């Protein structure tokens, strides 16, 4: 069975200091759609819908859910039956329960990741040509999620099987085990990437910028605003995906990637690109190493049904030295 999942849609992050988070995300160029004492709803410059990033003030930082947009309401009903057939309990969020969004379905996926599917979202003014409001990173749109999981092969089979994701690139060990995989629904390199690590945890959220120079400009802007210490890795270029990147940490430690420069994957005869785990250019094409926190730290997920943190499992594959993870 296949479903019309369109793309990465939105993410809900729990943050401990809404004011500090507002200053940080405003500096990246997000547009605030609306807010109150407990919530901020952000959209990016290209967005014509209510939000792609929802910040909730909570006592502890975590990831409530990652979301994918679907094409039609019938897809939601069909995918609910699919999950039930797999023995997965689903949670319906009826229209009006969540600000700005219509009916949605939540489920803990095969790796335990809290995942949401939705169709409808309230309209908002697109800011693409409001150049007078473009500041900082000038974030254009949400692009992908990168997720640490203990069993990449299981996640790969789940998403490329019944859910119809396609693989753009993947990394294999000397024993031909899949170490990481970049899977997509839209015709880019990925909507979701899975990498071998203790999990499930959200490693980062990727947001698209219009060009590589925008990433350089963002570094200058952040440094001038006092956020130089928030720059964790980059700028640089990945071998995997070919993308130009910058990684940042928000005030609660959630990792944000500013991303540009991947390629079209929509042709029916596109063949996934395989990378050797021992090839150092796969993670950073220019050769500079990532800091240790890159491999050790990520954001905790919350269970869809209980709201509790999802326990971590150690990776199935043998642990490698840090420079083997992108």
pLDDT digits (tens, 9 = 90+) for 40-90: 999 999 999 999 999 999 999 999 999 999 999 999 999 999 999 999 999
pLDDT digits (tens, 9 = 90+) for 107-131: 999 999 999 999 999 999 999 999 9
Indicate if the pLDDT at residue 265 is higher than 70: yes
pLDDT digits (tens, 9 = 90+) for 20-42: 999 999 999 999 999 999 999 99
Determine whether 265 is exposed, middle or buried from the number of CB atoms within 10 Å of its CB (0-12, 13-18, 19+): buried
pLDDT for the residue 288? 79
Pick the CATH number of 138-300 from 3.10.180.10, 3.40.50.300, 2.130.10.10, 3.40.30.10: 3.10.180.10
Least confident of 41-45, 85-89, 292-296, 300-304: 292-296
Indicate if the pLDDT at residue 324 is higher than 70: no
pLDDT for the residue 1? 58
Quote the percentage of the chain above a pLDDT of 90. Answer: 87
Cα dist. 215→44, 127, 175, 190, 248 in Å? 15, 19, 37, 20, 11
Would you place residue 278 in the very low, low, confident or very high pLDDT band (cuts 50, 70, 90)?
Answer: confident
pLDDT for the residue 2? 72
CA distance 305 to 106: 9
pLDDT for the residue 75? 93
Indicate if the pLDDT at residue 325 is higher than 50: no
**pLDDT, mean of residues 130-145:** 96
Please state which CATH number belongs to domain 5-118.
3.10.180.10
Cα dist. 112→75, 89, 148, 291, 311 in Å? 22, 12, 11, 27, 9
* Contacts of residue 214, Cβ cutoff 8 Å, sequence gap at least 6: 137, 138, 258, 260
Least confident of 168-172, 227-231, 257-261, 319-323: 319-323
pLDDT for the residue 319? 53
Q: In which residue ranges of the chain is CATH 3.10.180.10 found?
A: 5-118, 138-300
CA distance 298 to 146: 10
């Amino acid at each position: 069975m296949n479903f019309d999942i369109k793309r990465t849609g939105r993410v809900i992050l729990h943050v401990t200091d809404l004011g500090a988070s507002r200053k940080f995300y405003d500096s990246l160029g997000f547009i605030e759609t609306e807010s109150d004492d407990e919530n901020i709803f952000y959209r990016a410059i290209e967005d014509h819908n209510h939000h792609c990033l929802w910040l909730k003030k909570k006592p502890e930082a975590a990831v409530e859910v990652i979301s994918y947009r679907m094409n039609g309401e019938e897809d939601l009903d069909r995918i609910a039956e699919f999950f039930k057939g797999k023995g997965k309990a689903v949670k319906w969020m009826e229209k009006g329960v969540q600000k700005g969004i219509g009916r949605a379905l939540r489920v803990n996926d095969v790796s335990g990741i809290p995942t949401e599917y939705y169709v409808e979202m309230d309209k908002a003014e697109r800011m693409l040509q409001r150049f007078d409001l473009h500041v900082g990173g000038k974030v254009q749109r949400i692009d992908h999620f990168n997720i640490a999981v203990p069993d990449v092969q299981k996640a790969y089979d789940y998403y490329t099987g019944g859910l119809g994701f396609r693989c753009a690139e993947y990394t294999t060990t000397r024993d031909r085990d899949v170490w990481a995989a970049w899977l997509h629904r839209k015709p880019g390199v990925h909507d979701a990437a899975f990498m071998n690590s203790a999990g499930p945890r959200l490693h980062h959220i990727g947001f698209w910028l219009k060009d590589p120079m925008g990433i350089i400009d963002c570094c200058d802007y952040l440094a001038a605003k006092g956020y130089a210490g928030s720059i964790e890795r980059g700028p640089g270029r990945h071998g995997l995906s070919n993308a130009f990147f910058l990684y940042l940490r928000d005030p609660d430690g959630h990792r944000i990637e500013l991303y540009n420069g991947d390629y079209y994957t929509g042709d029916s005869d596109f063949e996934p690109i395989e990378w050797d785990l021992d090839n150092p250019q796969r993670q950073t094409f220019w050769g500079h190493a990532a800091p240790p926190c890159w491999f050790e730290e990520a954001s905790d997920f919350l269970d869809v049904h209980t709201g509790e943190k999802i326990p971590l499992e150690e990776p199935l594959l043998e642990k490698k030295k840090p420079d083997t993870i992108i």
